[in-house]
């Protein structure tokens, strides 16, 4: 009988983001064999697990789903943290730091008591700060602490460009990098549609308009429905699949960059062991300045953290 490697994900936090990720895994991730839900509200975790079990019966993939406690981290391959306070109307992502730092100290303190030796996948805002905090509190190597970074922002960017130029987003090669927040930027000099540079399709005025729309997308959605969940759920699912498939796919994840001393969104190659390589950035002088401003925005917060 062939040896069968069981891929196990433990999800901590059964709110909107966590459950959108969980549903995306059950519905579309063929390499996730076990999914365990943990939440401070144990009754909610139990109910969500039962609901997902019923959904799994309608999926073409087989996933064992249950609720549990931190002992489940012992043999987990990925621990995804989606716990914490959500961004509310009128709040910036950075307004959440104080609230979520204490949450993470509690969560990672519990995980540190286990034998967890897999990969952290972080989805809690402010994303880059919480990714950095996880690395510091866990003592894990930077390659195995991955934040969702600007993967969602990049998806939003490609969606907006596709709508503007009437081209399938899969043929648009453009990225958002930097902070998952108000200082994020787009290296337009690297952006192409097919093989053509982006400036053949978009004016500088339109580029600025699209950047503004990307930066304010979350605020608009939160204003209208109270939270953002589906997009980030799918992005987390795609990163998870890239890890389990050892696909060496490129995502703009948040990972600690020793050159800058922060965790920040940048193109990185994802494999079974986490981040295999951070891609070098080829930026214009103006773009370097914008990226450095994003680095400074994150550093200004990190320097005041007690981790």
pLDDT in tens, 28-68: 888 999 999 999 999 999 999 999 999 998 888 889 999 99
In the listed set 147, 177, 198, which residue is the last one of a domain according to the structure? 147
Domain membership flag for residue 238: yes
Q: Quick one: pLDDT at residue 96?
A: 76
3-state secondary structure 122-162: ECCCCHHHHHHHHHHHHCCCHHHEEECCCHHHHHHHHHHHH
Q: Which of 162, 153, 164, 216 is nearest to 186 (CA)?
A: 153
Domain that holds residue 268: 151-302
Percent of the chain at pLDDT > 90 equals: 85
| Number of domains, the chain | 2
Nearest to 263 by CA among 200, 178, 206, 190: 178
Residue-level pLDDT at 94: 67
For position 1, what pLDDT does the model report? 34
Q: Say what the pLDDT of residue 2 is.
A: 46
Among 16, 31, 33, 180, the active-site one is 180
Q: What is the CATH number of the domain that holds 49?
A: 3.40.50.720
159 and 271 both lie in a single domain: yes
User: Among the three residues 97, 118, 147, which one is the final residue of a domain in this structure?
Assistant: 147
Residue 267 lies in a domain: yes
**What CATH number is associated with residue 206?**
3.90.110.10
Are residue 92 and residue 185 in the same domain, yes or no? no
- Do residue 15 and residue 128 come from a single domain? yes
In this prediction, residue 92 carries a pLDDT of: 65
**Domain assignment of residue 2, yes or no:** no
Q: Is residue 3 part of a domain?
A: no
What's the average model confidence in pLDDT over 98-107?
91
Q: Is residue 101 part of a domain?
A: yes
Q: In 3D, which of 47, 30, 38 has the Cα closest to residue 10?
A: 38
Alpha helices, DSSP H only, in 42-126? 42-56, 97-111
Q: What is the pLDDT at residue 98?
A: 79
- Domain boundary among the residues 91, 112, 147 is at 147
Q: Work out the average pLDDT over 149-156.
A: 97
More confident residue, 3 or 37: 37
Of 289 and 6, the one with more pLDDT:
289
In this model, does residue 83 exceed pLDDT 70? Answer: yes
Question: Side by side, which strands form the sheet with 172-173?
Answer: 172-173, 192-193, 196-197
CB 256: neighbour CB atoms within 10 A? 23
* 112, 205: one domain: no
Residues 85 and 33 occupy one common structural domain: yes
pLDDT average, residue stretch 80-87: 86
Same domain (yes/no): 14, 116? yes
The pLDDT of 250-266, averaged and rounded, is: 97
Please tell me whether residues 59 and 101 are part of one structural domain: yes
Are the C-beta atoms of residues 160 and 191 closer than 8 Å to each other? no
Task: Identify the pLDDT of residue 30.
Answer: 84
Q: Which of 80-89, 107-116, 214-223 has the highest mean pLDDT?
A: 107-116
Q: In this model, does residue 233 exceed pLDDT 70?
A: yes
- Type and span of the H or E element at 266: strand 262-271
For the question of residue 180 being annotated catalytic, the response is yes
In a domain, 307, yes or no: no
pLDDT, mean of residues 220-229: 92
pTM: 0.94
58 plus 94 within the same structural domain: yes
Mean of the per-residue pLDDT values of the chain: 94
What is the per-residue pLDDT for 121? Answer: 98
- The count of C-alpha atoms lying within 13 angstroms of the C-alpha of 100, restricted to the half-sphere facing its C-beta, is 26
Query: Any idea which of 82-96, 108-122, 162-176 has the lowest mean pLDDT?
Result: 82-96
Within this chain, do residues 292 and 165 fall inside the same structural domain, yes or no?
A: yes
* Domain contains 262: yes
Residues 137 and 214 in one domain: no
- Mean pLDDT, residues 161-173 taken together: 96
Residues 178 and 275 in one domain: yes
Res 203 pLDDT > 80: yes
Task: Give the pLDDT of residue 61.
Answer: 85
pLDDT at 97: 84
Do 220 and 250 fall into the same domain? Answer: yes
- 1 lies in some domain: no
Cα 152 to Cα 277: distance, rounded to the nearest angstrom: 20
């Amino acid at each position: 009988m062939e040896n069968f490697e069981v891929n196990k994900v433990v999800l901590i936090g059964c709110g909107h983001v966590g459950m959108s990720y969980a549903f995306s895994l059950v519905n579309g991730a063929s390499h996730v064999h076990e999914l365990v839900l943990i939440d401070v509200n144990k009754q909610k975790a139990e109910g969500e697990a039962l609901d997902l079990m019923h959904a799994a019966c309608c999926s073409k993939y087989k996933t064992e789903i249950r609720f549990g406690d931190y002992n489940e981290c012992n043999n987990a391959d990925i621990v995804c943290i989606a716990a914490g306070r959500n961004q509310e109307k009128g709040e910036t992502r950075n307004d959440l730091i104080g609230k979520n730092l204490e949450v993470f100290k509690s969560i990672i303190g519990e995980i540190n008591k286990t034998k967890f030796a897999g990969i952290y996948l972080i989805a809690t805002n402010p994303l880059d700060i919480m990714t950095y905090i996880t690395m510091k509190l866990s003592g894990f190597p930077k390659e195995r602490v991955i934040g969702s970074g600007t993967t969602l922002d990049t998806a939003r960017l490609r969606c907006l460009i596709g709508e503007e130029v009437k081209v399938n987003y899969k043929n648009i090669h453009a990225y958002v990098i930097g902070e998952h927040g108000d200082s994020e930027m787009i290296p337009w000099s690297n952006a192409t549609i097919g093989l053509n540079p982006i400036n053949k399709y978009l004016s500088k005025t339109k580029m600025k308009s699209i950047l503004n729309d990307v930066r304010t997308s979350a605020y608009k959605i939160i204003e209208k429905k109270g939270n953002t969940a589906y997009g980030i759920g799918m992005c987390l699912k795609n990163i998870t699949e890239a890890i389990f498939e050892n696909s060496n796919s490129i995502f703009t994840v948040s990972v600690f960059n020793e050159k800058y001393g922060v965790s920040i969104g940048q193109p990185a190659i994802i494999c079974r062991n986490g981040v295999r390589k951070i891609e070098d950035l080829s930026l214009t002088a103006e773009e370097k300045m914008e990226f450095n401003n994003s680095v400074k925005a994150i550093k200004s917060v990190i320097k005041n953290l007690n981790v």
